[in-house]
């Protein structure tokens, strides 16, 4: 069972509120403060809706698809490890950012709250995988689900705060500072991802070899 602290750290690192700031600044470049505020609030609320849905349908979805938790822990851990590599080396890929083609499409939109802000920047593959992993934990109770839901909401509030303070954060940290923070967080995510894979191997593979 994933501890609440681990859940918070995992979600915070995967969503990466500080790392989102330079991308949000680029997407809203030239816009007014009112426009940025509206996009930040709307985008975060839409991402929250997507992730909360996965909190409640995660375990039933795995059951319907016939996917055991150990298998998903291994696959999810592998995906998060790839995400961690992107973060450590500051590479922009579809796992944690928009592709070049998506960026071009986003620049032509006036409303960037749904795409690419809500999905895939906030509620991206890494965040959805993390939510599925925590909602599918063995021994999960209603109390545990609600506790993890509160953790998710707390991380999203921090994300919203970062987006609303984009101008100040960029002035204080700059893009280099944000990338440095993201790289450090990537190392933590890599360790957590490996732990997921080890837990999946321990629960699903090793017992079958005995």
Burial of 43 (0-12, 13-18, 19+ CB in 10 A): buried
Whole-angstrom distance, CA of residue 7 vs CA of residue 209: 30
| pLDDT band at 7; cut points 50, 70, 90 | confident
Residue 1, pLDDT score: 47
Give the chain's mean pLDDT. 85
User: Which residue has 């070899």 as its token pair?
Assistant: 209
- Determine what percent of the chain is predicted with pLDDT higher than 90: 36
Q: pLDDT for 76-110, tens place per residue?
A: 889 989 888 988 887 666 666 666 666 665 555 67
| Mean per-residue pLDDT, 55-84 | 86
Tell me which of 57 and 154 has the higher pLDDT: 154
Residue 120, pLDDT score: 87
Q: pLDDT for 141-198, tens place per residue?
A: 778 888 889 999 999 999 999 999 999 999 998 878 888 888 889 999 999 899 889 9
Pick the range with the lowest mean pLDDT from 13-27, 112-126, 131-145, 153-167: 131-145
Closest CA to 74 of 136, 121, 13: 136
Greatest mean pLDDT among 135-144, 153-162, 200-209: 153-162
User: Which residue has 């949000």 as its token pair?
Assistant: 24
Residue 206, pLDDT score: 65
> What is the value of pTM for the model shown?
0.84
Whole-angstrom distance, CA of residue 203 vs CA of residue 148: 22
Residue 179, pLDDT score: 82
Q: Which residues contact 170 (CB under 8 A, 6 or more apart)?
A: 21, 22, 25, 178
| pLDDT band at 6; cut points 50, 70, 90 | confident
């Amino acid at each position: 069972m994933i501890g609440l602290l681990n859940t918070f750290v995992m979600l915070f690192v995967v969503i990466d509120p500080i790392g989102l700031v330079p991308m949000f600044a680029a997407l809203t470049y030239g816009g007014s403060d009112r426009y940025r505020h509206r996009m930040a609030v709307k985008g975060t609320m839409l991402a929250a809706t997507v992730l909360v849905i996965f909190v409640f349908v995660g375990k039933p979805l795995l059951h319907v698809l016939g996917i055991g938790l150990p298998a998903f822990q291994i696959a999810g851990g592998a995906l998060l490890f790839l995400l961690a590599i992107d973060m450590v080396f500051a590479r922009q890929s579809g796992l944690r950012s928009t592709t070049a083609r998506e960026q071009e499409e986003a620049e032509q939109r006036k409303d960037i709250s749904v795409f690419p802000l809500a999905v895939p920047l906030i509620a991206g593959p890494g965040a959805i995988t993390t939510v599925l992993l925590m909602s599918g934990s063995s021994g999960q109770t209603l109390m545990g689900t609600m506790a993890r839901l509160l953790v998710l909401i707390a991380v999203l509030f921090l994300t919203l705060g970062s987006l609303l303070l984009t101008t100040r954060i960029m002035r204080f940290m700059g893009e280099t500072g944000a990338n440095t923070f993201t790289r450090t967080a990537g190392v933590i995510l890599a360790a957590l991802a490996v732990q997921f894979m080890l837990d999946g191997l321990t629960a699903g593979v090793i017992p079958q070899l005995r």
